[in-house]
Structure 1
């Protein structure tokens, strides 16, 4: 196998393993761009299609909706906690997009713990609850939805690929179900400005 074949095969393997980010490996990314049609043709045989987002700088494989082959890309059911975690991140992106939208959207661990806590009013063990949010971070890192900020182990950049994983339709339905859950349990979540005012008192 020559160098070009090795690079092509390595690129296919990387795509089969998950999301490929432009900034992680320029050589792999350039192969995806230059061999886009060859990759798509190859993946079509096993029921997958290549998705490339040049603006976001990422690529991934998705299952073809009309394919009758067994699914290689399995849809894993998300827990309520993980769904909430992703929905809050997606809402953050929406607010970020409606603002300046410049630079990278960065979140801190303590922010997400604070934002998720009102949805779990019966928390009696703070350490256990924080550890459960840490597991959400680990899953999001595995999905390459989050990437650690260099030289800061408590901050993460939210990746554009989240827009693909959590689309507007999913988010709208989840927010509707979440509002119903909050109402049924008599829960309310303060706006960020109100929370900051309380903390300053």
Structure 2
């Protein structure tokens, strides 16, 4: 073998090794990202391309861990869900890798309001981003809380609720604009149109019961 051919072979082997190493790094980065939370196409285009290219292998890997991959290409997000096995046929109870979210009534109230606003935005605006203000969220919440003399205390309660929803990664404060928030589209995967209707009916029932109690007293 000539020196030139030998050099070409070594170069090809090196390129192949580097390519395999890069793919492994991408695979590991994607797995870690999904285990930590939501993957957004707009923020992680390289990882998203890897996910689209090797989606079957990714699903297969996580299925072995008892996790299922939810991918919405139209909205540009992907996340993991814990598979709920049949308790009667489950031989061994698996530890949870994904934390189950338990929403309070007030958290659900704000999420439904944000989800409704996102639906309105999608039907009216061309921009994919929905920005809401802290004052708007206060306004949405106020009708469902009793009137209080200490408005500052109530505003702090609303702010604590907004902070919690932000920590859950349903909204994100804008850089240098702490009173403005982007509504993250992952909210559509957790609050459906049917759930909005059901929750509104629940609110109407509560309002009716409250009104009847007021008349009785």
Note if contact 1:147-1:159 (Cα within 8 Å) is conserved in structure 2.
yes
- Equivalent of 1:146 in 158, 161, 171: 171
Whether 2:69 is the aligned partner of 1:50: answer yes
Whether 2:150 is the aligned partner of 1:131: answer no
Note if contact 1:18-1:143 (Cα within 8 Å) is conserved in structure 2.
no
- Equivalent of 1:102 in 124, 127, 130: 127
Q: 1:161-184: CA deviations, max 9, x gaps?
A: 111110122222211111111222
Q: Residues 97 and 84 (structure 1 numbering): CA distance in 2 closer, same or farther, change over 3 Å? A: same
Which residue does the alignment assign to 1:196? none
TM-score, normalised by the number of residues in structure 1? 0.81
Q: 1:36-84: CA deviations, max 9, x gaps?
A: 1111000111221111222212111123355656343333221111110
TM-score, normalised by the number of residues in structure 2? 0.76
- Equivalent of 1:30 in 46, 49, 65: 49
Q: Residues 51 and 124 (structure 1 numbering): CA distance in 2 closer, same or farther, change over 3 Å? A: same
Per the TM alignment, residue 145 of structure 1 is displaced from its structure 2 partner at its CA by 1.7
- Equivalent of 1:84 in 94, 100, 109: 109
Structure 1 regions of 5+ residues with no counterpart? 188-201
Note if contact 2:122-2:128 (Cα within 8 Å) is conserved in structure 1.
no
Q: 1:125-149: CA deviations, max 9, x gaps?
A: 3233222222332233233221223
SS in 1 for 2:161: helix
Using the alignment, how far apart are the partners of 2:39 and 2:181 within structure 1? 18
Larger C-alpha radius of gyration, 1 or 2?
Answer: 2
> Over aligned residues, Cα RMSD in angstroms?
2.4
Please state which structure has a larger fraction of its residues in helix.
Answer: 2
Using the alignment, how far apart are the partners of 1:137 and 1:32 within structure 2? 32
- Equivalent of 1:4 in 7, 20, 23: 23
Q: 133-142 or 50-59: which moved more?
A: 133-142
Q: Residues 20 and 125 (structure 1 numbering): CA distance in 2 closer, same or farther, change over 3 Å? A: farther
Query: How many residue pairs end up in the alignment?
Result: 187
